[in-house]
Amino acid sequence: MGKFKITVIRKMSNPDFAGEYCMKGEAEKLCPLMTEGKEFIAEGRQPEGFCSWAWDDIGKYLTAFDAGGNFAESMGWMKDRNTVIACCTDGIRPVVFKIQKM
């Protein structure tokens, strides 16, 4: 696997979903594992302190970069061929990441 810089750029919540589906008191909470602005360097494996669920969620982007793909020319939506914006699949408290191929 190549080398990647992964930055937490936003933590969000869906309090309406949390209020309906989660236990009491969970509606206003954000992800407790990640901090906005935190940067991780990934080089061949999951960085220390990185959420394993989020790691699994963003793995397809890392694999695409490693295979020579990008999300500018090949997919047509990112401005920078070495950057992609992705998020974890937590529907209650999603976290958004900027992934940069280094």
C-alpha–C-alpha distance, residues 32 and 68, integer Å: 34
pLDDT digits (tens, 9 = 90+) for 50-93: 999 999 999 999 999 999 998 887 667 889 999 999 999 999 99
What is the structure's pLDDT at 80?
Answer: 92
What is the structure's pLDDT at 25?
Answer: 79
What is the structure's pLDDT at 20?
Answer: 92
Output Rg (C-alpha) for the chain, integer angstroms: 15
pTM above 0.75, yes or no: yes
pLDDT digits (tens, 9 = 90+) for 32-52: 999 999 999 999 899 999 999
